[in-house]
Amino acid sequence: MSKIAIVTDTSCDLPQDFFAEHNIHRVSMHIHFGEEEFVDQITISHEEFYDRMAGEMENLPRTTQPQAKDFVEVFESLKEEGYDTVLSLHISHKMSGTVQAARLASEMVTDMEIIPIDTGQVGPPLGLFVYAVVEKMKKEKDKDKIIQFIEQLKEEEPIFEAFSVETMDYLVKNGRVGRAKGFVAGFLNIKPILTVSKGEIAPLDKVRGSKGLYKKMAELALERMSTADKPVLLLAWGGIPQEKSIEQVRSLIEEKLDKEFVTIRARLAPTIACHSGPETISITTFDAGLI
């Protein structure tokens, strides 16, 4: 029987204790503020990043992907721990070359099966993708069946996200706007609602005002959660004020949904907020009954 490890990257949004509890290894993106470089969630924390963002609005941070040597270091460490198989689950190739670096690294490590996987996701949806695989591995020990489940997640796209940003400037300037090009935010209090589809950002809707935004996001989540056997809701936010906003969305969902659901909370990773901006809120849903 294979001893399987999960590796992901720091564009994956889940609570920090979840990674530790399930021994999930992350390869870090790099964050640049001008000439200064930080290793995401190693030399800069969530809190330090958001504090820095608040003080440098004119100097937008940028990110660079991990290098193959970063993956080799993690893969070799896992081999020393006795793992013979690695499922390396990463951000969409349409947003980053991270999975290509993982593939290159997989060819440099011997005596170990390493399977780099482009999940087609990023941020909270990547988080729920990893969550679903972890839960599947609790029930299923057959490696081939776990890989088959991963392929099902990729093909059927049962993970749904709706997120909103205060301004599209970050997405536009960082080249991550995808099919949402031309969407407006901030003008006449218009709030855009976006999603991740086919590996890139795409428009969903736009509403006026915060109350309209919370109501519409709740409605979008309820459409999926009401038909799910075991609904899971991941709440994610950027700056401190946005935590209150996303909790208002959750309250609206709880009022209308006549079944229990699992709630996961995670602050947006610095890698993600570099591109979306700090004033971001996100709800992501998945039916754990599919596991």
Would you call 26 helix, strand, or coil by DSSP? strand
Average pLDDT, stretch 254-272?
95
**Domains plus CATH for the chain?**
4-156 (3.40.50.10170), 160-290 (3.30.1180.10)
* Unique residue bearing structure tokens 């993956």: 71
Assigned token pair, 250: 């959750």
Return the higher-pLDDT residue of 175 and 105.
105
**Mean of pLDDT values over 232-258:** 96
User: Worst-scoring range by mean pLDDT, 36-45, 96-105, 116-125, 200-209?
Assistant: 200-209
Q: Of 149, 146, 151, whose CA–CA distance to 119 is shortest?
A: 151
Do residues 147 and 141 touch, judged by C-beta distance below 8 A?
no
- Amino acid 281: pLDDT: 96
Pairing outcome for strands 30-33 and 62-64:
antiparallel
**3-state DSSP call for residue 177?**
coil
Angle at 195 between CA 44 and CA 41, to 5 degrees: 10
pLDDT at 57: 61
Residue with tokens 């504090």: 51
**pLDDT over 90 at 170, yes or no:** no
Lowest mean pLDDT among 104-113, 190-199, 217-226: 190-199
Q: Please check the confidence at residue 174 and state whether its pLDDT lies above 80.
A: no
- The reported pLDDT for the residue numbered 178 is 46
Chain centroid to CA 109: how far? Answer: 27
Q: Please, which residues bridge with residue 5 across strands?
A: 86
The tens digit of pLDDT for each residue in 21-65 reads: 999 999 999 999 988 999 999 999 999 999 988 876 667 888 999
Token duo for residue 117: 């996987």
Q: Is the pLDDT of residue 173 over 70?
A: no
The span from the CA of 43 to the CA of 52, in Å, is: 13
Asked whether 248 and 279 are in contact (CB, 8 A), the reply is no
Structure-token pair, residue 274: 């570099």
Q: How far apart are CA 53 and CA 41, in angstroms?
A: 15
Name the average pLDDT for the chain: 91
pTM for the whole structure? 0.92
**pLDDT at 180 > cutoff 50:** no
pLDDT interval class at 254 (50, 70, 90): very high
